[in-house]
Each structure stands twice: as C-alpha cells, then as structure tokens.
Amino acid sequence: MSISPLIGPGRGRQPPRGRRGRLLAAIAAALALAALAALAAAFGLFDTGQRGSRVSASGRASASAARASTSAAGRARAAAGPDAASATSPGSATAPGSATAPGSATVPASPPDRSPTGLALATPPLALTGIGAPERDPLQIRFHHPARAGLLFNLDTGLVLWQRNPLLRLRIASLTKMMTALIVVRSASPHARVLVTKQAVEAAGSKVGVLPRGRHVALQSMLYGLLLPSGNDAATALAQSVAGSVGAFVARMNREAARLGMGCTRFSSPSGYFDEGNFSCPADLAVLAHVDLQQPRLAAIVRHPSAVLPFPIKGGKLYLYNNNPLLIYRYPGLTGLKTGYTNASGRCLVATAERHGVRLGVVLLHSSAPGSQARQLLDLGFERVYHQAPVAEAPIPPDA
C-alpha cells in the first residue's frame, strides 16, 4: 500500500475521485477561506492600513537615527584625530590615574586624585603648561616612525614645546631607576656603604657584573653602577640597603610617585626589568627628570659618559660606561639622563640639555631611534623656540 509522506498510516481520508470529487473539494476550500477571513476581521489579525504604516515609519525612524548616530560618531573620531580613533590602537592617550592598563585609551572626564596604587596625589613640583593640547605646541613635528609617546619641555618653566600622547601609560624599563636613584640620595649619605647580597648578584638583565657578594661597597659607586650601565644588580643592592627589602623599597617608590603628583605611574621593582605592573607616561617622567636634576649628587653622575671608581675587586678599580646615545655621540650641552629597554617597553630615553641658560628635557617611549629623535627635538627647541644659533655637532646615526 502506498502511504503519503504527510499523512501517517490509518490517519485522514483519501479525497473523492472524479469531477464530483473535485467540485466538492473546491467548495470545501472556498468555505474554509471564507471562515478564515471572518475570523481575521473579528479579531483584527489583518490591519492593512495605519498599523502597517506605523511600523514602517518606526523602522525608518530607527534606521535614520542609527545612521545619524554612526555619522556623528565618525565625525567625532575624525575631529579627535588618529590617536583617538580606537581604544586599542597604539599611541592612544590615557590620562594619569585612570584604572586602565598601559597602552589603553580611556580618558577620565576630570583629572584623577589617586595614583594607580590608590594613593592620594599631591601637586607636581613642575606644572606642565599646554599638556594635552598638541595643536598649540610651538613645534609641530612629525616623525616618519614616531615614538608611541613623547614630550619636549622646558625643565624650569614646564612649558611644553612638543608632545605625542603625553599621558599614555607605557612600560618604561630602566627609566624606573630615575626614581630608585632619587630615593637613595634622599635616604642615605654619600659615604654610606652597601652590602652586596646574593639576590643582587643573581639579578637578571643588565648588570655592573662584578659586584663582590658579601662585601660592602661605597654607595656612591653603586649609584654610578645604577645610572651609567643601568645595573639591575646595583638597583637590588641599593633597595635592600635603604629599605631592608626590595618590597619595602618599591612601596616607598610608589609613595614618592604620589607625593610628586605622578598620576600615570606605578612601580613594581627598583630596576624596571620586570614589565608587569611597572609603567609611567611622558608627563610624569618630565616631572621626575626635573626633580632628579635638583639633586646635585644625581646631576653630577648622569652627565658623565664614563667613570673610573675605586672598587673592592681585583685591580681595585671599576670602569663604567654610560649607554645614553647622546652622551656617546657627545651632544652639545647634554646634562643627562637615563635610557631604558625591554622587549615590552621598546627603546626609551629621557635626555636633558642646557644651552645659554635654557634647559630642555625630552622623553621618548617605545621609539625606534630615541637618540636621533631626541637630538632633532632638542635642536629645534633651542633654535626655533629660543632663537639660538645652531651648534656644531658630531653626526648621530639615524637609528641611534
């Protein structure tokens, strides 16, 4: 027996055969349609007039509003410029003190009153004039491969001459040692001595490299080892000597950052070798550079391209060399200050210089050529803003 795929066995009836059957089927279908129409009219299932118009108008209004909103958002992004185009785009700006991670672009509606570690922020000792308004910078400079963030500023007045994402939180590698050195000179006598511990000798990354474990070394020599070759071993030994432990020293670093009003900044080590939880921004580092150079002991160290120091090792002398590219190539008037590098931070530089009584500083974070870019910025600052005559300079390699 043949079974219809739509009707199970034993269910339904076969339609009548022949002309009479077809006529009866047509009448049944017509009666069914009439009954359906009557029910629809009674219960309002089909409203072919205003209701359809209202739905259509509502849909058109929603679509129009969505298009207008999208268009307005696009105009806002265009007006904000390329650095505000995306919350995840490199180089986008983060205001100090917000709870976002380094490199993110969330900017709070008002300046923060707490540091990233939750401490109350004091007023910075250097007020940066014009920060956050790059269209007003005296120098309008575009690099072919710009740093992710940077700042050119007057070290004495705080006038911003050029900026790129000055509030963007980024990893800062050994620029961290600028704060380490500040706390050390404020806490210990230049005649103090520092115990070289096992933890210091085993520190990873860049090192002085010849620290004698278990011996006491002149603190001043350790400061040179911290700031010239950027010794992570020196950073660990100094931290332990001043605060008793690395953890206690890091807590002091974060308290000092808050006291200086550094709302972008959080430290997680005295060396900066470990990137996790260790970040800052150009604006904060400008303040830190200003304060560091107010310390005569630090200002005297960071301007030296090299040093030969008495040291308790074979031969009795320690030879140290500064890795600041502007010092290496003897940039005229250079007064400091510090370099940094890790895979996450890229190449970083804080450089300061003085000519004819004008003191300028430059901060570059994650730059492909910090030395040559810093030189260009400093030259243009002295020449175009302060109208000084160009100075003869030794060439600096373009990727320095």
Q: Contact, 262 vs 284, CB < 8 A?
A: yes
Phi, psi of 264 (to 5 degrees): -90, -15
Number of domains in the chain: 1
Catalytic residue among 174, 271, 367, 372: 174
Q: In the predicted model, is pLDDT for residue 142 greater than 50?
A: yes
| Within a domain: 285 | yes
Q: In the predicted model, is pLDDT for residue 11 greater than 90?
A: no
Domain that holds residue 291: 149-385
Catalytic residue status for 230: yes
pLDDT the model gives residue 380: 97
Asked, as a colleague might, if the bond just before 228 is cis with ω within 30 of 0, I would say no
Query: Rounded to whole angstroms, how far apart are CA atoms 188 and 252?
Result: 14
Q: Contact, 213 vs 197, CB < 8 A?
A: yes
Q: Contact, 244 vs 128, CB < 8 A?
A: no
Q: Which amino acid is at 140?
A: Q
What one-character-per-residue DSSP string does 11-69 give?
Answer: -S-PPPPHHHHHHHHHHHHHHHHHHHHHHHHHHT---TTHHHHHHHHHHHHHHHHHHHH
Tell me how many degrees the CA angle 319-320-321 measures, rounded to the nearest 5.
Answer: 130
**DSSP structural state of residue 356:** T
Q: In the predicted model, is pLDDT for residue 101 greater than 90?
A: no
Tell me the CA distances in angstroms from 12 to 6, 200, 367, one per residue in order.
10, 92, 82
And the tokens for 261?
């009003």
Supply the mean pLDDT for the chain.
82
| Within a domain: 198 | yes
Task: Give the pTM.
Answer: 0.74
Catalytic residue status for 268: no
| Within a domain: 339 | yes
User: Which of 24-28, 103-107, 126-130, 306-310 shows the lowest per-residue confidence on average (mean pLDDT)?
Assistant: 103-107
pLDDT the model gives residue 35: 57
Q: Across residues 127-134, what is the average pLDDT?
A: 96
Q: In the predicted model, is pLDDT for residue 331 greater than 80?
A: yes
Q: Across residues 157-184, what is the average pLDDT?
A: 98
| Within a domain: 6 | no
Q: Contact, 285 vs 350, CB < 8 A?
A: yes
Residue 297 or residue 32, greater confidence: 297
pLDDT the model gives residue 304: 94
Q: In the predicted model, is pLDDT for residue 342 greater than 90?
A: yes
pLDDT one-digit tens code per residue, 114-128: 999 999 999 999 999
- Kindly give, in sequence order, each residue whose CB lies less than 8 Å from that of residue 182, ignoring residues fewer than 6 positions away: 256, 288, 291, 292, 295, 298
Q: Across residues 186-204, what is the average pLDDT?
A: 95
pLDDT the model gives residue 22: 64
Q: Are strands 170-171 and 193-195 parallel, antiparallel or unpaired?
A: unpaired
Based on the number of CB atoms within 10 Å of its own CB, is 353 exposed (0-12), middle (13-18) or buried (19 or more)? buried
Q: Across residues 304-313, what is the average pLDDT?
A: 92
Residue 182: give its domain's CATH number: 3.40.710.10
Catalytic residue among 92, 115, 206, 230: 230
Catalytic residue status for 174: yes
| Within a domain: 114 | no
Catalytic residue among 92, 98, 177, 280: 177
| Within a domain: 25 | no
Q: Contact, 207 vs 231, CB < 8 A?
A: yes
**Strand, helix or coil at 276?**
coil
Q: In the predicted model, is pLDDT for residue 5 greater than 80?
A: no
**DSSP structural state of residue 159:** B
Closest to 247 (Cα-Cα) out of 269, 232, 266, 265: 269
Torsion from C-alpha of 338, 341, 344, 347, nearest 10 degrees: 80
| Within a domain: 378 | yes
pLDDT one-digit tens code per residue, 240-277: 999 999 999 999 999 999 999 999 999 999 999 998 99
Q: Contact, 239 vs 246, CB < 8 A?
A: yes
Residue 18 or residue 13, greater confidence: 18
pLDDT band for position 90 (cuts 50, 70, 90): very low
What one-character-per-residue DSSP string does 54-121 give?
Answer: HHHHHHHHHHHHHHHHHHHHHHHHHHH-GGGS-TTSTT----TT-SPPTT-----SS--SB-TTSPBP
**Strand, helix or coil at 177?**
helix
Q: In the predicted model, is pLDDT for residue 53 greater than 90?
A: no
| Within a domain: 366 | yes
